[in-house]
Amino acid sequence: MPARAQSGAPATVEAALAHSQLAKLPTAARERLVRESRVVTIASRTYVMREGDPARVGLLVSGLLRCLRVNADGQELTLVWACRPGDLFGVPTVVRPPSPWTFQAVTDLVFVDLPVDALRQLARSDPRVAWALIEHYDRWLRRAVDEILMYAYGDLRQRITIRLLELVCLTPPGRPLVAPVTQEDLAHAVGAARPSVARVLKELRAEGFLRPMYRGILIERPEALALQLTA
C-alpha cells in the first residue's frame, strides 16, 4: 500500500507536537509547523526514508518505526526502535542532508511530515527552536547507544525481543507479524540455552506480547514489546 498523505489535520499535528520535544516551541513557531505539515499513513514493512534520501523530518503519531544502518554486505543493524507518540525522526537532515540512516515502518504507521525548510529557518533564527532540536538529537543518540549495547550486553529477554522484532521486519508488507524462527534457532541467535529461551517466550506469551504459530512466532503487540527496550 503506498503512502497516503493528507493536509488540514491540525488537531492531529497539535497532539503529536504536544508529546514531542517541540512542545516547548514558541507559539508562532508551532503554528507555522501545524499550518505547513501534512499527516501521512504508510503501510507496515515499507520504508519511510532510506540512507541517502533527501531531507525529511517526521513526528510519530502511531505505530512502530525503526532506524537502521545497512552495511556493504546488506546486513542491517537497528539503532533505535521508535514507538512513542511524539517521537521525532530525521532531525539530522535539517542540518546536513541527505539522510544518514534508513527508517522502516514495522507496523502500519501514521506520522506528521514536518516542513523541513520551515524547521531549518526557525532553527537558524530562534535559539529556542535550535535548542529543542539539540535536546532531541541528544536523547536519540543516547537511545541508539543504549539499544546497540543491548545486542551484546542486554539480558536474555532484551536480546530475544530485539531478535524477534528484527525478524518480523523482514516479512512481506501486509502480512501478519510472524517471526519465522524456531526456539532452537532463536537460542543460537541470542547465545543461550533452549530451555532459557523457552522460559522467556513463555513469559512474553503470558504477558500478551506474542503467540506461537506454525513455523514461527506471532508478535501481537509490537509497539508494547518495543517499548520494553526503551523504558
pTM: 0.88
d(CA 107, CA 99): 21
Say if CB 107 and CB 177 are below 8 A apart: yes
If asked whether residues 128 and 167 sit together in one domain, one would say no
Q: Which domain CATH number covers 189?
A: 1.10.10.10
Among 126, 151, 176, which residue terminates a domain? Answer: 151
Claim to verify: residue 36 and residue 110 sit in the same structural domain: yes
Q: Kind and range of the H or E element at 38?
A: strand 38-42
Indicate whether 83 and 118 sit together in one domain. yes
Same domain, 160 and 189: yes
CA distance 110 to 58: 10
- List the grid coordinates of 46: 515499507
- Report how far apart the first and last C-alpha atoms of the chain are (Å, whole number): 31
pLDDT in tens, 164-206: 999 999 888 888 999 999 999 999 999 999 999 999 999 999 9
Q: Same domain, yes or no, for 16 and 81?
A: yes
Q: Are residues 192 and 92 in the same domain?
A: no
DSSP secondary structure string for all residues of 128-192: HHHHHHHHHHHHHHHHHHHHHHHHHHS-HHHHHHHHHHHHHHTSPTTS--EE---HHHHHHHHT-
Task: Give the pLDDT score at 1.
Answer: 47
Same domain, 225 and 170: yes
| Domain count along the chain | 2
Q: What DSSP string describes 58-92? A: EEEEES-EEEEEE-TTS-EEEEEEE-STT-EE-TH
Query: Is 141 found in the same domain as 181?
Result: no
pLDDT at 159: 95
Alpha-carbon distance values, 113 to 3, 39, 104 (Å): 12, 6, 15
Cell numbers given for 186: 532463536
Tens of pLDDT, residue by residue over 58-106, are: 999 999 999 999 888 888 889 999 999 999 999 999 999 999 999 999 9
Same domain, 108 and 34: yes
Domain end residue (candidates: 94, 125, 151):
151
Q: How far apart are CA 200 and CA 70, in angstroms?
A: 29
Domain boundary among 121, 151, 181: 151
Q: Are residues 129 and 177 in the same domain?
A: no
Residue numbers of the domain that contains 162: 154-230
Q: Within this chain, do residues 135 and 53 fall inside the same structural domain, yes or no? A: yes
78 and 12, same domain (yes or no): yes
Q: Where does the pLDDT of residue 10 fall: very low under 50, low under 70, confident under 90, or very high at 90 and above? A: confident
137: domain CATH number is: 2.60.120.10
